[in-house]
Structure 1
């Protein structure tokens, strides 16, 4: 960096930073790996090893005080602690119960259903293009996939699935507003969501079906069953955390391939590379850029002491581009890169319980999309990013390169 150049500044609320946080992340990693942020007050870790070790150290870094640097963000929304906001041993007990209904076998059984839905969405993109209508990759393709899958998994009847959209929009809007509740419909959306799923849980306890909520109501470990609050918290995590993260993974993957046509051509020629490519997409453009822990005791890293009781942001987005872990090409897309470990799904006891489902949806989406639309791309000039200190994603992402009868528009 030239002596006169100003170093990139880490400001999670700044729109310019949210558009391109990576220069600031590099500066933190190289010069300020234990960063103290003043407003609001919190610490930020940016190096891979530091974060990898911290998220696996529940004795010093707790999840129970919230996952953002805002005070009591979940309590403000009227929620009981969810599985992502619990420490061992309670976290392990609850995860074991939830795991009974969220098995890889149950997830794998969804593949044909997902593939049929994805093909229908691609056909709709092609119809819209043929009719001269604008096509938004995120709104019309990426985002509807996890909404459909989640509704099916939870046993929500098709006639009720339109309810998901305003809930997801409201929770996204909460991030887009910078967690300013007075500007968000999130509180009422959470209340409506809980009222709806409370009725579903009650119905499944009386008359179980073949869906995840039915499985959760029946799950038992050592004589203990999930309470209604436990299941409601899981439904919230799935709706709030499972929708936009998976949709953004798909959208970011298309964006990255559009910027690297050689990589896209290689993936089109060899779809077997798609599973590894997904990990590379997630590493380079993770939907979850960072989540917080709270120190339970003083922690010293790189000669800096973080006192007990402090919020510490784990900047996954910075760690996943750390040259110390991924080498000198850490900022480049390489769909064949060996990735023995990464933080796209976190790590330790809070490793994402929905990772298998997210990867299944994204794999099917890319298998079908690249087979039918090998030149699909995006118009970044017309796109609108989600404004969030925690999630890197899209509100709108216009599509390009959609082919109709051999023509690209």
Structure 2
């Protein structure tokens, strides 16, 4: 559970064994932590921030002592401060604001897909899919188009420093992003624009606004979370369709199934593998004694295959699955703030993609990024088949 290779492979058999035989599982690796694999247990922990804190960080434990970040991000802030921050930041993610983005998102997707040609081998993950969410996030922030590719390099380094293909360290990427965001904020201080930074700078709840450090922290989080998770959802979701051609055929024949297919992709691939919490006091869970100060790792991929919730078909990929109460966006206080945007991006991508291409063939090995939290697709060569007689969704 503590090594990238565990997630690059197929963790489903190990998850299944843990759910059945050791759902609250202690490992001594990396200083020791509890692995939580059952759906209801993760819901229990996620809804009790007073018992399980995020303040010491949400990444996989690495054996080093953890203390609370003096300048925490939203994701590493506990209530009541978390609630206040969330209300402020949610000003930029209202349903009206997100829905209004659909035409721009569709234009970005179409522009990216225009570079893809049926019958010609292409690199799908980096060459096609990765361009979509980073451009959307950059556009959302008001960053100029010429900076989009640099954004992607910084974002990759932020989550994939264990990957040998990434030359920047996470610290170097963080420093570069900090400098860049500081400049964007300075420009908005001089003159507001129609972008998320301006919205967040003007947001107030009960007379309180975001501090400069809080705004900076959220911009870092947004770039990494909004870019990496969505691109991996689309890439890994495409692989699921390749592995299940009958499900792909259903979507081609009935595009109205695409929203439920996106939910099933979220459940089946779980693009974020885990989040970590830290016990604030001794807690008994399924007969195991979690001690104050110990880390508990919430394994979302395991919970999303829990037979007690998803039944006998929990291990199957079914684009018609309803209901689908997956935990891919987390649960409780820290459920993903940008979930509506991620859903919109994935839906629009597959609507446009499947209107143009009704076949996807892998032409080489799929290479995964070495990361314990977001083990995305690094390289994925494909050949696409042109859809006939269908116009793109408008």
Q: What TM-score do you get using the length of structure 2 for normalisation?
A: 0.92
**Deviations 1:288-337 (CA, angstroms, capped at 9, x unpaired):** 01110000111111111010111110000000001011001100011111
Q: Residues 219 and 225 of structure 1 are in contact (CA less than 8 Å); yes or no, is this contact kept in structure 2?
A: yes
Q: Is the 8 A contact 1:62 1:294 kept in 2?
A: yes
**Deviation at 1:43?**
0.8
Report which stretch shifted further, 98-107 or 64-73: 64-73
Offset, 1:52? 1.2
- Determine which of 385, 396, 399 is the counterpart of 2:382: 399
| Stretches of 4+ aligned residues off by more than 6 angstroms | 72-76
Three-state SS of the structure 1 residue aligned to 2:72 is coil
TM-score (norm 1): 0.89
Shift of 1:383: 1.4
- Does residue 1:35 correspond to 2:25, yes or no? yes
1:150 to 118, 129, 137: 137
Cα gap change, 1:75 to 1:207, in 2 (>3 Å): farther
Residues 4 and 371, structure 2, Cα contact 8 Å, conserved in 1: no
Q: CA RMSD in A?
A: 2.3
Q: What is aligned with 2:13?
A: 23
Alignment of 1:98 with 2:89, yes or no, is: yes
Q: How many residues align?
A: 386
Determine the C-alpha separation between the residues in 2 that align with 1:42 and 1:286: 21
Cα gap change, 1:392 to 1:169, in 2 (>3 Å): closer
Q: Decide whether the 8 Å contact of 2:159 with 2:374 is kept in 1.
A: no
Deviation at 1:274, TM superposition (A): 0.8
- Which of 56, 67, 83 aligns to 1:65? It is 56
Task: Verify the 8 A CA contact 1:125 1:135 in the aligned structure 2.
Answer: yes
Query: Which residue of 2 is the match for residue 368 of structure 1?
Result: 352
Is 1:312 aligned to 2:302, yes or no?
A: no
Shift of 1:71: 5.6
Q: What residue is the counterpart of 1:8 in the other structure?
A: none
Residue of structure 2 equivalent to 1:258: 242
Change (3 A) 1:161 1:340: closer
Residue pairs, 1:80-119, within 5 angstroms:
80-119=71-110
1:383 counterpart = 2:366: yes
Change (3 A) 1:21 1:65: same
Query: Helix, strand or coil for the counterpart of 1:225?
Result: coil
Structure 1 counterpart SS, 2:35? strand
CA contact (8 A) 1:198 1:228 kept: no
Q: Does the aligned pair in 1 maintain the 2:306–2:314 contact within 8 Å?
A: yes
SS of 2:358's equivalent? coil
Conserved 8 A contact 2:38-2:306: yes
Question: Which deviates more, 322-331 or 164-173?
Answer: 164-173
Q: CA deviation at 1:176?
A: 3.0
Contact 2:8 2:370 in 1 (8 A): yes
- The partner residue of 2:277 within 274, 293, 310 is 293
Local SS of the residue matching 1:50: helix
- Report the Cα offset of residue 184 of structure 1: 5.2
2:278 counterpart SS class: strand
The 5-angstrom pairing of residues 194-343 of structure 1 reads 194-343=178-327
Paired residue for 1:7? none
Q: CA deviation at 1:202?
A: 1.9
- 1:190 aligns with one of 168, 171, 174: 174
What whole-Å deviation, never above 9, does each CA across 1:200-243 have from its counterpart, x for those lacking one?
A: 11221221110000000100111111111111111111111111
Q: What's 2:392 paired with?
A: none
Distance 1:390 1:162, change over 3 A: closer
Q: CA deviation at 1:340?
A: 4.5
Structure 1 range deviating more: 11-20 or 247-256: 11-20
Shift of 1:116: 1.6
Could you tell me how far 1:75 is from its partner in structure 2?
8.9
Q: Is the alpha carbon distance of 1:364 and 1:405 closer, same or farther for their aligned partners in structure 2, counting shifts above 3 Å?
A: closer
Deviation at 1:59, TM superposition (A): 1.4
Question: Deviation digits for residues 53-84 of structure 1, max 9, x if unmatched?
Answer: 111111111111100233699999x9831000
C-alpha separation in 2, matches of 1:245 and 1:314 = 17
Is 155-164 or 263-272 further displaced after alignment?
155-164
